[in-house]
Amino acid sequence: MKVTLANKTIRDTTEITISLPERDSKISEFAEKLYIPEISADKNCVVLQCRKFPFIEGMEVNIDELNYLAKRIDGFDFYEAETFYTAAEMEKPDTVEDLINLSFQIDNYFLIDLNDKDTKKLNRVFLFKKYGSMPVSELDTAGTEKINEFFNSRKKGYVGEYGIIFKFKEEAQKLYDGLHFPPYYYGKSSALLLEGTNENGQLKMEFIEIPCDNITIDKALYHMGLDKITRPQISIDNCGEEHIYNKIQRITEELSMSIKEKLYTMNLYSKAIETMPDMGMLSRHKTIETVLDICNPQNTEELTLILNGADEFKLYEGVTDYREYALNILDSPEYHFPDDIKAFIRLDAYARHCLSEKCHLFTENGLVVYRGSSENIMNMIGRSNMLENEIKSGLAEDEGDLYEDPENDVGSQDMDMFF
């Protein structure tokens, strides 16, 4: 959505044209150019131009509301978008708040594309919108009858750019109250839910998609009015896989973090998961959980350091000793070793050679290798009581011969002969 905005009190010197939706860090840049607060619920901007919704030109708006509306529109499919635009054209809402609520009410409208001659599809769309569900055997037979019954009971529809639109119910539920944005996933699959009861006994909730900019969390806390909330609680919505956040939640509790620190930390955990390369989502969580067990962070600073360096750890699941690590390397599709090379290599010695300058540890989940250079992280690993003398930090043990001939004892050979 392209829109031209200005500060409502100093229009002449603050005009900017922006495209929405944008992430909140970018919205902060727009706010700076408009000379408005980075975080505010006030309608401190005025719309100078908006081609999609010309009726909001001259309207005083809040930039975060506009951005949320743009996310809603961007998530529509083709038919939903045309229905929304036509409904907005018909209703001409007075505020962006009304447009946001309208975006959650499009199932209350039935748009007929006058150029679409597929009556069977038209009937099915009507039935699903009006009744929600119906036996497949009745779809085609009931459609025509019920759609005619609906039209006979209605006045004429509204004719717009995309067709003629009808409204099922005059009054529909309003989800947006002008302050707390309704839960909505926009391109992500995880969210933090911040809930609590205010001084009037009302339950309040903020929905924060993660990973996100920290300013997004700050805005949620502002809208929540955290200082007036009794016993605020944080929970995770992760498409049925909420348990994978259990460890990081438990650590934030053990470290006695504030609500804001907990939200920041869980957001950072989500960012760490997203940036880890070359593995599935569950493997990423397992890697970080294993690392957290090893490092055992004692404060917020240590936990933050680990999460910021999470992409420098690699977990070889199921690898419990040096020999298995060597076999893992030789079987990897990244390399092209001869099939019979294992018979000529002292696997344990070869693995120790490969890991001699890498900080590593065998755990019950597998081999963890730290590929970074942070001394603080190495110190955290070093103090772990799980080490049992397996950790290596640039110190190599006597590796012995790397190669052996199964028939002739040829002793040590140059590694370049094989690699």
Classified as helix, coil or strand, 165 is: strand
| 37 and 77 together in one domain | yes
178 located within any domain: no
Place of tokens 């000793």: 321
Q: Quick one: which of 274, 291, 294, 290 has its CA closest to 211? A: 274
| 306 and 394 together in one domain | yes
In sequence order, what are the residues at sequence separation of 6 or more whose Cβ sits closer than 8 angstroms to the Cβ of residue 106? 76, 80, 83, 84, 87
59 located within any domain: yes
Which pair of structure tokens corresponds to residue 123? Answer: 């009937």
pLDDT for 293-326, tens place per residue?
999 999 999 999 999 999 999 999 999 999 999 8
Cβ distance 190 to 238 under 8 Å?
yes
| 270 and 299 together in one domain | no
Q: What angle do CA 389, 394, 398 make, to 5 degrees?
A: 65
346 located within any domain: yes
241 located within any domain: yes
107 located within any domain: yes
| 89 and 130 together in one domain | yes
pLDDT for 358-417, tens place per residue?
888 888 999 999 989 899 998 888 776 444 444 444 444 444 445 444 444 433 344 443
Cβ distance 286 to 365 under 8 Å?
yes
pLDDT of residue 419: 39
pLDDT for 315-356, tens place per residue?
999 999 999 998 888 887 776 777 777 777 788 888 888 888
| 140 and 225 together in one domain | no
* Bridge pairing between strands 190-197 and 230-237: antiparallel
Cβ atoms < 10 Å from Cβ of 310:
21
Place of tokens 């990244």: 334
Paired with 235 in beta bridges are: 193
Q: Quick one: which of 276, 103, 231 has its CA closest to 173? A: 103
| 14 and 107 together in one domain | yes
pTM for this predicted structure: 0.82
pLDDT for 18-30, tens place per residue?
999 999 999 999 9
The long-range contacts involving 139-148, CB below 8 angstroms and separated by at least 24 positions, are 144/119, 147/122, 147/123
**DSSP code of residue 108:** G
281 located within any domain: no
Q: Last residue of a domain, which of 275, 305, 320?
A: 275
pLDDT of 101 over the 90 cut: yes
| 304 and 260 together in one domain | no
CA gap 81, 69 in Å, rounded: 12
The distance from CA 393 to its chain's CA centroid, rounded to whole angstroms, is 35
| 6 and 147 together in one domain | yes
Burial of 327 (0-12, 13-18, 19+ CB in 10 A): middle
**Total tally of structural domains belonging to the chain:** 3
Place of tokens 């903020």: 206
Does residue 142 or residue 200 have the better pLDDT? Answer: 200
413 located within any domain: yes
Enclosing domain of residue 239: 190-275
| 154 and 7 together in one domain | yes
